[in-house]
Amino acid sequence: MKNLKLTIVALLLSTVSFAQWDQYNPNPNNDPANASKELLNPTNHSLLLIDHQSQMAFAVESQPIEELRNNLGLLAASASLYEVPTVVTTVAEKSFSGPVFPEIREYFGEDYIDRSTMNSWEDTRVAKRVNSFKKEKLVIAGLWTEVCTLSAALSALEDGYDVYVVVDASGGTSQEAHDMAMTRMIQAGVKPITSLQYLLEIHRDWARSDKYNEVVKISKKYGGAYGLGIDYIKTMSKWMTGKEASEAGKN
């Protein structure tokens, strides 16, 4: 019965979400209603960031920590730009795990839910906060992938959420631990995405001039080779023509 109610609410919210998204769409040739309902848009999801803390990071072996921090910065900046409802959780912040990554503090301040449970979904404050947003989709990233990310993702999935996990903004204690956790989640129905994919999926149309400059700025800062490519073409265009190149065909 609980899952049925959540499903009904999600279907209703889906219609509302796409209607709200139209106001960010100045391109007359773009109809967001034609897009797959599987895709994330700025209004159909919330974000849960779990335990991106110093002590948790020390044990991450699935990718270099500087890469994880960069990807997390990309994710946090993108969600902040589009005002995606976000919950940040910590575990034993003051007594064991330490401060949250600067990449989160920069965009979301220090409004955290500190808990003792490994599964953040078992802390009623976390589930209540996420439920209050009334979004059908939930995007999750956390440390470690095989414990905190997995347990929250499977729990939210069972509660009726359409769950997406940002693979490259999550990290495990080994590559095997990370990969097996992702495999287990995918088998259960969780959808894997990456941080750059997240930004481009919710932006979707370069004609959205209200966010264009900010998206370019985020891409240049965190987008790796893609960001360098943007910086290159815009700089070269400005040197040669006096105007910056634009994906939207406008300055």
Residues 6+ apart with CB under 8 A from 222: 70, 71, 73, 74, 77, 195
Q: Residue 5 in 3-state DSSP?
A: helix
Select which of 60, 148, 165, 185 is catalytic.
148
C-alpha span between 71 and 49 (Å, rounded): 13
What amino acid is encoded at 109 in this protein? G
C-alpha span between 38 and 135 (Å, rounded): 14
Our answer to whether residue 123 is catalytic in this structure is: no
What amino acid is encoded at 173 in this protein? T
Q: Residue 38 in 3-state DSSP?
A: coil
Residues 6+ apart with CB under 8 A from 45: 84, 135, 136, 137, 138, 139, 164
Of residues 79, 106, 88, the one with CA closest to residue 52: 88
Which sequence positions are flagged as catalytic? 148
